[in-house]
Amino acid sequence: MPSSLPNAAPRVAPRVAIVGATGAVGVELLRCLAERDFPLASLKLLASSRSAGREVVFRGQTLTVEALGDDSFQDVDLALFSAGSGLSKVYGPKAVAAGAVVVDNSSAFRMDPDCPLVVPEVNAETLADHHGIVANPNCVAIIAAVPVAPLARAFGLKRLQMATYQAASGAGAAAMEELRASTQAWIEGRPFAPQVLPHPYAFNLFSHNAEVDAESGYNGEELKVIEECRRILAAPELPIGVTCIRVPVLRAHAIAITLEFECVVSPEEVREVLATAPGIQVVDDRARNHFPMPSEAEGQGDVLVGRVRRDLGDLSGRSIALFVAGDQLLKGAALNAVQIAERLFPAAKAQSRSSDLVTAS
């Protein structure tokens, strides 16, 4: 960590705060910290005043959620933020000033040149340049970058085209509940008026609900994916096209990806690279028509990659089509943040869970 930071020498077991601890991603952050045996000297759970006082069990201990405030980050080494860009912009710098390193899951700092935008399997080396805040990328950008990056390194990448199939989890816990409730209403033949999303969700799909740019026709989600993929891949001029669609799936995103390489590439060569790339499971069984599915991506941290085939629309032989699926709440959000934390505090990751001392702050 840069010597200019107040906590330039990382503690073996950092004192951690989670901002937005009761939200969908906050819940997954807690689960990831527990399942990956991330040692903690203390854990502070922060949320809005509405959630203050709620009790949460973590590693057998009951912790009480506190209201987020200006003085919430005293005695905190690592702050994991998942509470929206507005709160991140206000409280992220305050956490850094108090001596914490911030890993932020919102869009607030993703294009800030002073804040690395990190997918650990792809560009962990950029963490050396952080100034207190590290940005967790958009979920689609993370899930796409994990398979795209090793292929780009192996063959050179000229163009990237994607179509996404995005789950309700990307719009938060309220959207997930709306999908459940609207599906039940549809089955029972009852009317249901959407409150969270702009269109009926059960047995339907629609263009991502981010605001559409009048000039380009691209919505905000698509523009974010383009900008963030370019930054993660260190390819600022890379031509990228993307169409983002919301589908009635609870929590795992899928993406159809077409890559145009600088040379002729065979599907066999692509599979060989993917088979040894970190964070990937190859699911590519043509005989059984078994390829990546959200139902199999849900609840685990790897990106499933399959349907590896030549793009028959490119007669040059330089384009390959893929289909991928990844858990939006895990690799697309919480897990990626915890993996960043493990890189920031490697001594903590090396310590065994048996020596942890977890105390409520």
Q: Determine phi and psi for 44, rounding to 5 degrees.
A: -115, 130
Q: What pTM did the predictor assign?
A: 0.92
Q: What is the mean pLDDT of each run of 10 residues along the chain (361 residues)?
A: 37 90 94 95 95 94 96 97 96 98 97 97 96 97 98 98 97 94 98 96 96 95 98 98 98 97 98 98 98 97 98 97 98 98 81 40 45
Extract the tokens encoding 263. Answer: 């040379």
Residue 201 vs residues 123, 182, 194, 293, 357: alpha-carbon distances, Å: 36, 7, 8, 19, 45
Residue 313 vs residues 58, 151, 289, 319, 323: alpha-carbon distances, Å: 52, 20, 22, 8, 16
Residues carrying CATH 3.40.50.720, the chain: 15-137+334-355
**pLDDT at res. 2:** 33
Q: Which of 32, 115, 139, 244 is catalytic?
A: 139
- Per the DSSP assignment, residues forming a β-bridge with 309 are 321
CA 257/CA 65 separation, integer angstroms: 41
Sign of CA dihedral 67, 73, 75, 77: positive
Residue 351 vs residues 12, 31, 39: alpha-carbon distances, Å: 7, 18, 7
Homologous superfamily in CATH for domain 15-137+334-355: NAD(P)-binding Rossmann-like Domain (3.40.50.720)
Residue 32 known to be catalytic: no
Q: Which of 32, 208, 244, 253 is catalytic?
A: 253
**pLDDT at res. 12:** 74
What single string gives the DSSP state of each residue in 97-137?
A: HTT-EEEE-SSTTTT-TTS-B--HHHHGGGGGG-SSEEEPP
**pLDDT at res. 349:** 60
Non-local CB neighbours of 156 within 8 Å, separated by 6+ positions: 261, 262, 263
Question: What is the C-alpha R_g of the chain?
Answer: 21
Closest CA to 71 of 51, 50, 100, 103: 100
3-state secondary structure of 1: coil
Residues carrying CATH 3.30.360.10, the chain: 141-328
Residue written as tokens 């509405």?
A: 50
Strands 319-327 and 252-261: antiparallel
Residue 208 known to be catalytic: no
What single string gives the DSSP state of each residue in 149-202?
A: HHHHHHH-EEEEEEEEEE-GGGG-HHHHHHHHHHHHHHHHT-----SSSSS--T
Q: Which CATH architecture has domain 141-328?
A: 2-Layer Sandwich (3.30)
Non-local CB neighbours of 35 within 8 Å, separated by 6+ positions: none
**pLDDT at res. 352:** 37
Contact 77, 10 (CB under 8 A): yes
